[in-house]
Structure formats: structure tokens, C-alpha cells
Amino acid sequence: MAEAKVLVIDDEQTMLDACKQVLSKRGYEVLTALSGEEGLRIAKESKPDIAIVDLKMPGIDGMEVLERLSEIDPSMVKIVITGYATVESAVDAMKRGAYDFLPKPFTPDELRVIVRRGLEKRRLEAERESLRRERDRLKADFISIVTHQLKSPLVAIRQYIEAISSGAMGEVPAPVKEVLERCSERADELLKMINDWLDMSRIESGKLAEKMVPINLTGVLDEAIEELQPLAEENAIEIIRMYPERVPPIKGDSDSLKQAFSNIISNAIKYNKPNGSVTISLRDSDEGVFISISDTGIGIAEENLPYIFDEFFRVRSKEHPKLTGSGLGLSITKKIIEAHSGRIEVESRLGEGTTFTLFLPRREIE
């Protein structure tokens, strides 16, 4: 049984015969074509693992053949051979999907080595794709377990704690009540982490893009602010809104955008200084809307800025050692904004505050 299928495309019959003789001895099934047109037809029919393509051919040249082979099978390994090798042609071939470059004349050993290396690359890429599919399957299974086997019991536990704390089952001594409050806080933290995982899964599955409708951006921001107002008052933080008179509707998902805004605003409140402020401003443009969320807080160290959107990354702060979280909030926010074809940037100075700038593009509204 042939180890692999190799297609050689060259307008010189002697080159085809030589390649076939060398590679067949290694157990490869070798297909040959005297032109780009014939090579593309054979590639469609036979789906080779490797295509060896001469750059200089009449009719369809090697560069175009490379591009069209990628359309037939993106995983096909493509090797270029030519007697007119230059740095420019090699770079151009690589840009068009070539894996390697073999200048003529070459020895049988050189041909065998480059084909073996190409097949190893294809094998590794196939394994990587298989692992990626397995990872996605395991992740989906994990989300299912989280949803059905962790979240529901945790909600029930929290309800029991609330029932006991409220005195529904008899008077609760103060020390016991204090312990129950701590249990309730930890349960809330775990529920928040589970919900963040579920949100991350929903965003990565692409389901978010299915719900894009015209929305009032200032209304979504106001909802997020109103829900966080008690937290702001508890921390003596003033929330300042600076909106233009009119912001045209944009196309998006209001629930996820509200979550994105809430994640940033809540951080701006929690990591602020006493009697500080959070300023939320909008700027409309022809391209889209810029949303700026600035705080007067403790700021973020320069060395931490490249990592703040990474999953599970949390900035440690001496000023707020007891603050907890899943480390997924900003990662989720970035994914939400990118799902809206937007972008998010951050500027910060340690001890002076942080500004997040979100851009949402103007998209056609039917």
C-alpha cells in the first residue's frame, strides 16, 4: 500500500520521469502532469498529499497553480521547483502557499528529503487539527457538565443558605449568621465564574452574531450604569456621563454589549480611589462610535498591560487585596467587542487611572 500520494507538475517529461522513478522506490504513489491545467484536474480528482510544482510553465504558470491548489485542498503541501530560482520568486511562492523551494538541478536525495519533510508537516497538521476537534468536543462536554451538574446544585445550596440566614428554620445565632454570609459570598463568586465560562462558550461558538439588531447605544450604557449605581455609591464613586445629543443606532447585541460595558465600569469602580470618579463618554463618527470609560483609580502597571485581556489574568493590588474574580471579565469583553467587528484599547498610568476605549463600527441597518 502506498505511503502517500505525490503529484508532480512540470512541462518537461524527463523531469516527471525522474521524480516518479525516485519517489516510487520509496513507496509513494506518484501522479504526473505536463501542464498546470492537467495538474489542477488531477489534483481535484485524486487529492494528493503533496504537489511538486514547476514555476515556469506555458499556459497557467506555477504561481497561479499554487493558489488554485490551495483552493482545492488547503492542507495540501506544495513544493516549488524551478531552474530560475531567485529570492523574490521564492518569497512570492511562499506567500501563495508554498511550503518549500527546491532549485533545479537537484539530487535524488534532496528530492526525497524535501518530500519526507513535507509529509511530516502534513501529518503534524492533521494531528493538530484532530487535537483541536477533540479539545472543542471536550470543552463542549465540560460546558454541559457545568450547566447541568454544577450550576443547578450550587443555586440550590445558595437558596438553602438564604433560607437558614433569614430565620425560616429558627433563630440563627450571630456567629453562625456571619459564617453563612461568607458561604453565600463564596457561592456567589463560584456562580459568577460558572456564568463567565458559559458566556465565553456562547461567544466562541459564534451564536452572538445571530442576534445583531439595531440598538440604542446610550440606552444600553445607561442600563449598565443604573445596575452598578449601588456599587458606586457604596464605594463613594461618582459616575459622569458625557453623551452627544444624538447617537445613531448601531447594529449589535444589546445583552452582550451591556455585559461588556458592565465589566469595565465595575472594574473602574472597584479599583478606584475613595471619592474618585468614572467618566463615560461617547464620540460619534462616520466610521462608528467610540466609547471611552475613564477612572481616577490605582491604574495598571505597564508590564501588566499586554496581558489584561488574557483569560484568567488578574492584576494583583495591594490597595485592594480582597477583591476576587474569575479573571475572565476583560477577556469576555474583548471577545464581545471583536464579535461586533470592533476593537478595544487601554491606556493606564500607575496611581493615576485607566482609560478603556471601545470602537464599534457603523454597519448597515436593514
**Residue-averaged pLDDT of the chain:** 86
- Where are the domains positioned within the chain? 5-106, 132-205, 209-361
At residue 57, the pLDDT reads 86
Q: What percent of the chain has pLDDT over 70?
A: 89
Mind giving me the DSSP string for 196-253? HHHHHHHHHTTGGGGG-EEE-HHHHHHHHHHHHHHHHHHTT-EEEEE--S----EEE-
Question: Could you give the C-alpha distances from 349 to 198, 346, 356, in angstroms and in order?
Answer: 33, 10, 12
Place of cell 472594574: 267
Of the listed ranges 33-47, 60-74, 92-106, 252-266, the least confidently predicted one is 92-106
Specify the 3-state DSSP secondary structure of 323. coil
Confidence of residue 157 (pLDDT cuts 50, 70, 90): confident
User: How far is it, in rounded angstroms, from Cα 236 to Cα 33?
Assistant: 77
At residue 207, the pLDDT reads 65
Q: Which fold has domain 209-361?
A: Heat Shock Protein 90 (3.30.565)
Residue 360 has pLDDT above 90, yes or no: yes
Confidence of residue 317 (pLDDT cuts 50, 70, 90): low
Look up the CATH number of domain 5-106: 3.40.50.2300
For residues 151-176, give the mean pLDDT: 85
262 and 228 Cβ atoms separated by less than 8 Å: yes
The gap from C-alpha 44 to its chain's centroid, in whole angstroms, comes to: 32
Confidence of residue 1 (pLDDT cuts 50, 70, 90): very low
User: How far is it, in rounded angstroms, from Cα 165 to Cα 173?
Assistant: 9
Residue-wise pLDDT for 205-226, tens only, equals 666 666 788 999 999 999 999 9
At residue 325, the pLDDT reads 55
Its pTM surpasses 0.75: no
- Provide the residue type at 200 as one letter: M
